[in-house]
Structure 1
Amino acid sequence: MDTTGTLDEALQRLHRSGPERFGRLTNHAPMAVEALAAHGQASAVHRWLELYTRKLEEFPGRVEPVTDANWPAALGDPRRAADWIDHFERELAEHPWREVLARWWPRLLPGLYGGSTHPVIRVGHATRTLLSGESTGPRLAELAHGLGYWAARHRTVADLAALPGADSAAAALDAAPPIAGRDGGFADRLGQVRGLPVWAAGVTDPGEAQRRLTELVRAATHRYATHGHGEETMLVHAATAPNAVLRTLPALPRALWVPSLRAAWTASAAVTAMYAPDAPVAYLPPGAVTPEEVFERALAHGDEHVIKLTDTALDVGDEPALAAALRSIELSEPLR
C-alpha cells in the first residue's frame, strides 16, 4: 500500500466532489486511485486525476441531518447523500471503524444493488486501504463517503424465483437466464430480473462462505473474457461487486460472512443476466504477459472500469483472469 502520502492527498482532493454526476453516474475516482496506489502506481495518481477531473461534480447540498432516530426514513433517498456522508463521518469520529462497519453492514447489505453496485465497491476499496495501512483521516473519510453513498442509493430486490442451479459458480452464472428486454439502464434492467439460479444456498459455515465467494469472483472475472462484449462496462461489476464483498470480510464479524455471500451471488448473477450477450466468443490474449505488465496497460488505457477490473483480475491472479483484463482494454474506450 502507498506510503508516500499520495493516496491521502488524492482522497482529500476528491472528497470535495460528490459521489455522482448528472444524478446517476458514479464518481469512480476514489476507487481507481486506491487501485493505482495498491499496485505501486502512486506516482501516476495525480496525472490520472487530471484526466478524470471533467467527470467530477461539486459536493451535493445538505437536506437534514441523519440521526439514530430518523435514519430508516432517509435510507435509499439519493437527495440525502451529503446528510448520510456527514452521519458516517460523525460515527467514525466517535467509534472504531470496524465497529461502525459491523453495525451498518447488515443494514446496508440488502440494498447492495443501488447505484449499480458502485457503493459497495467503493466501500470494498476503502476497507482494503484501512486493513493494509494506517487509519488516517482521509482514509476514514473515504469509508464514510462510501457508506454514505451506499445508504443514499440503497435499493433492494425481492421475490426472485429460485431457478435450477449448478454446483460450480461458473456453471451457475452460465445458467442465469438473460432478461427479455435489452433497453434501459441498470435500474430498469434490474426490475426485469424475475429469478436466478440457486448456488451456495445451503452454505452455513463462514469459512465455506469465504471459499465460495472467492470461487465466484474467479468465475465472474474469467467469464468477462468471453462474455464482456455483452456490455463492456456493466459486466465488469459481475466481478468487482463480489470482490468488494470478499475484500471486506476480514473486517467483519464471521457471523456476517454467509449473508454477504448470498447478497454477492445475487448481485453477480443479476448483472450477468441483465447484460448477457447473444453468444460467447473465444478469446486468446496476445501473448504471455505478467500481472505488472497488464496493470501498466490498464493504466495507460485509463478507463476507470478497466483499472478496477484489472485490479480484481490481479487478485484472482491466474492467466484467464489476466486475459479478462486484457479483453476489457480491447473493448473499452480509453480515458482521454
Structure 2
Amino acid sequence: MHQHAAQTLDEAFERLHRTGSEFDDGLSNHGPMAVESLVHAGQWEAVPAWLDLYTPRLDPAVRPTERIARDAWRDALGDRARDGDWIALFTDEIAEQSWRDVLALWWPRLLPGMPGGATHGVIRVGHAVRALLEAGESPIRLAEFAHAMAYFASSNQPLPELPRLAGGRSPFEALDAVPPLPIGEKDHISRRLTFLAEWDEWLTPTLSVGPVGTPEEAEALLTDTVHAAIRLYLRRGHGSGVMNVHGVTAPSAVLRVLPALPRELWIPSFTAAWATSSAVFAVYMGREDAGEAPAPASDASNAMERALAHGDEHAIKLADTAADVYARSGDTRALSAAALSLELIAPFKG
C-alpha cells in the first residue's frame, strides 16, 4: 500500500476511534469500514472530506465501566452497553500476543453470533484484518482490530442452531432456492431471525449445501457464496436496498479473514457465513425478481468512483465487494449490483 494511503488510513482510524461503534440508538458506525474500502480502492485522497461529512452524525465512544474477566467473557457477550469494556479487553489481548493469535482464539467464540448488529461486527473485523494484511501493522491499525473485535463481541447474536449441512447444491443453486419471509412476519432484524428456526421453507435450502470436507472446499464455497449473494442482490435487493447489502458484505468479510486464520477454522467460517447470508436475504429480499438490471460501471475503479460520489457507506462497501467478485470472475453482474445500490439507497451528502 502507498505510504500516503496507509498514513491516511491511520489518521482516519484514529479520528474514528473517538466515536462509538453505534450511534442514533443502534445504527452501526460504518466509518472504519468505508474508509478502509476507499483506501483499498485507491481513493485515499477522498477520505478526509468524506469523514468531514460522516462524523458529525456519530456519538462519542462508549467508556469502559467494568473489566471483563477472561474466564467470564460469556456474561458480557452481546451486551452493547459494554462495548468500551470489550475494547479494553481486546486492547489488552493484542498488547500481550500477536493479533493473529488473538483472532485464532476469539474467532470461534464469536463466529456463531455473526448475525448480531445486522452483521456489522464481522464486517468491521474483515476490513480491519485486510488493512493489517495489506498495509502491515501499526499501533492505530492494531487498535482498529481491537475496536472491530470488540464490536463483534458486543453486538453478538447467534442464529438458531442448525443441523449439519448435508446437501449437494452449490451456493448459487441453494441461495436461489431461499424464500422471502412470509408477509406479516417482518419486524426488527433480531426478531426476524428468530422466526427462521422453525421455518422449514428456509431450513431446507439453507442446509442443502455441503457437506464440506476440506479447508480448500470451504474457501471455494465461500467464494461462490459471495458471488451468488451479489447476483441475488441484483435480482432481489430491492426488498431493502440497505439491509440486503449485508447478505453480500458479511460473507465477503469472512472470506477476507480466512488468510489470517488457522486452516482448521475455515470450514466453520464458511458454514456460519453461508447461513448468515441466507438468513439476511430470507428476511429482507424482495418477493419478485427486479426488472432490467442497470448498466454496469466500465470497471471496478469506476464503480467505486460512482459510489463515492453517491456518498452512502453501504454503496461504498458494496462497490468494494463487487470489485472483488469482478476481479475473481469477470462477471459484470457484480458491477451492475453496485450500480443498482445507487438507485435503491438514498445518496448521502452529510
Q: TM-score, normalised by structure 2?
A: 0.92
Question: Shift in Å at residue 264 of structure 1?
Answer: 0.3
Change (3 A) 1:259 1:162: closer
Find the counterpart in structure 1 of residue 256 from structure 2: 247
Cα distance between partner residues in 1 of 2:168 and 2:116: 27
Report if the CA contact (8 A) 1:2-1:42 is conserved: no
Report if the CA contact (8 A) 1:166-1:172 is conserved: no
Whichever residue aligns with residue 240 of structure 1, its letter is T
Residue 36 (structure 1) aligned to one of 38, 47, 50:
38
Equivalent residues in 2 for 1:319-334, closer than 5 Å = 319-334=332-347
Find the counterpart in structure 1 of residue 75 from structure 2: 73
Cα distance between partner residues in 2 of 1:241 and 1:193: 18
Alignment RMSD, CA only? 1.7
Number of residue pairs the alignment of both structures matches? 336
Residue 90 (structure 1) aligned to one of 92, 108, 121:
92
Question: Shift in Å at residue 55 of structure 1?
Answer: 2.4
Report if the CA contact (8 A) 1:125-1:244 is conserved: yes
Question: Shift in Å at residue 309 of structure 1?
Answer: 0.5
- Residues 83-121 of structure 1, C-alpha deviations (whole Å, 9 max, x = no match): 001110111111111000000000000111111100000
Equivalent residues in 2 for 1:144-293, closer than 5 Å = 144-160=146-162, 167-180=169-182, 181-194=184-197, 195-196=202-203, 197=205, 198-286=207-295, 289-293=298-302
Change (3 A) 1:45 1:88: same
**Residues 208-217 or 56-65, more deviating:** 56-65
Find the counterpart in structure 2 of residue 125 from structure 1: 127
Residue 12 (structure 2) aligned to one of 2, 10, 15:
10
Cα distance between partner residues in 1 of 2:89 and 2:285: 38
Cα distance between partner residues in 2 of 1:206 and 1:72: 28
Report if the CA contact (8 A) 2:116-2:155 is conserved: yes
Cα distance between partner residues in 1 of 2:165 and 2:307: 37
- Residues 181-209 of structure 1, C-alpha deviations (whole Å, 9 max, x = no match): 35322112112213432243310200010
**Residues 286-295 or 9-18, more deviating:** 286-295
Whichever residue aligns with residue 93 of structure 1, its letter is A
**Residues 159-168 or 324-333, more deviating:** 159-168
Whichever residue aligns with residue 190 of structure 1, its letter is L
Question: Shift in Å at residue 23 of structure 1?
Answer: 3.4
Gaps of 5+ in 1: none
Question: Shift in Å at residue 163 of structure 1?
Answer: 9.9
- Residues 52-73 of structure 1, C-alpha deviations (whole Å, 9 max, x = no match): 1132100113221112122121
Question: Shift in Å at residue 288 of structure 1?
Answer: 5.8
Find the counterpart in structure 2 of residue 302 from structure 1: 311
3-state SS in 2 of match to 1:232:
coil
Report if the CA contact (8 A) 1:245-1:264 is conserved: yes
Whichever residue aligns with residue 325 of structure 1, its letter is A
Q: TM-score, normalised by structure 1?
A: 0.96
Report if the CA contact (8 A) 1:10-1:46 is conserved: yes
Find the counterpart in structure 1 of residue 21 from structure 2: 19
Cα distance between partner residues in 1 of 2:80 and 2:93: 20
Report if the CA contact (8 A) 2:87-2:146 is conserved: yes
Change (3 A) 1:256 1:44: same
Question: Shift in Å at residue 287 of structure 1?
Answer: 6.2
Question: Shift in Å at residue 212 of structure 1?
Answer: 0.4
Cα distance between partner residues in 2 of 1:288 and 1:120: 28
Cα distance between partner residues in 2 of 1:247 and 1:18: 24
**Residues 113-122 or 195-204, more deviating:** 195-204
